[in-house]
Amino acid sequence: MRRNRQAQSFELNRWKIVVLIMVMLFLMVLTYLVYVYYSFEQSAQQGFDETIERIQTNDASFEVDSITRFHGDHHYHVVQGEREGEDLIIFVNQSDDETEPVEFNQEDLEDEEQLLSDWESTNTYQDIHQTNIGIRQNTPLFEIIYRDQQGRLSYDYYRLDTGEYDSGISFASQS
């Protein structure tokens, strides 16, 4: 009888050890994933402070509202903000520090929400992943990233200065 209790006790302890090891492994994997996420998040925002400083060194009256990234012909930081009541978009080339930032008054550009609304009414798609503001050869662009009806990842670009379609590309789905 005593031997039977020892066997049961050993069996319970073994299960406790297995569960404890699994919980510890889960926590280690979770911690690693959180670390990786924050590392990617930090690298995505790398250089934002330097870009803001660069702009405000040349123009102390400029107030930054948001800053994003755009990868077109070159890597740009897209800074949206305000100077003396005017809404501006400033593109800061990250590939070449010598290049002067390119500035556009938002009043002179097409409304992004209207462009997206017009696009949605004339295109069939599965879902929109995101939209971005970008620039190519000093032309401000509105980028729409979406999945088309065939499941392909697609990019459409519209000129923000005229609202006209500029270009697009689709990538074959991997099914």
Q: Give per-residue pLDDT as tens, 77-109.
A: 999 999 988 999 999 998 888 888 899 999 999
Quick check: 104 and 88 in contact, CB under 8 A?
yes
Q: Which stretches in the chain have pLDDT values below 70?
A: 1-12, 42-45, 173-175
Per-residue pLDDT, 71: 86
Beta strands 165-171 and 153-159 are antiparallel
Total domain count for the chain?
A: 3
Same domain, 1 and 22: yes
**Percent of the chain whose predicted confidence (pLDDT) is above 70:** 89
Residue 95 DSSP label: S
d(CA 54, CA 48): 10
Quick check: 160 and 109 in contact, CB under 8 A?
yes
Which of 86, 106, 126 finishes a domain? 106
Same domain, 95 and 139: no
Per-residue pLDDT, 67: 92
Domain containing residue 78? 48-106
d(CA 82, CA 79): 10
Question: pTM, whole model, 2 decimals?
Answer: 0.70
Same domain, 117 and 164: yes
Same domain, 54 and 96: yes
Same domain, 54 and 36: no
Query: Nearest 5°: phi and psi at 84?
Result: 50, 45
CATH of the domain at 91: 3.10.450.40
Same domain, 116 and 160: yes
Nearest alpha carbon to residue 146 among 131, 160, 164, 158: 131
Same domain, 166 and 116: yes
Same domain, 80 and 63: yes
Same domain, 166 and 117: yes
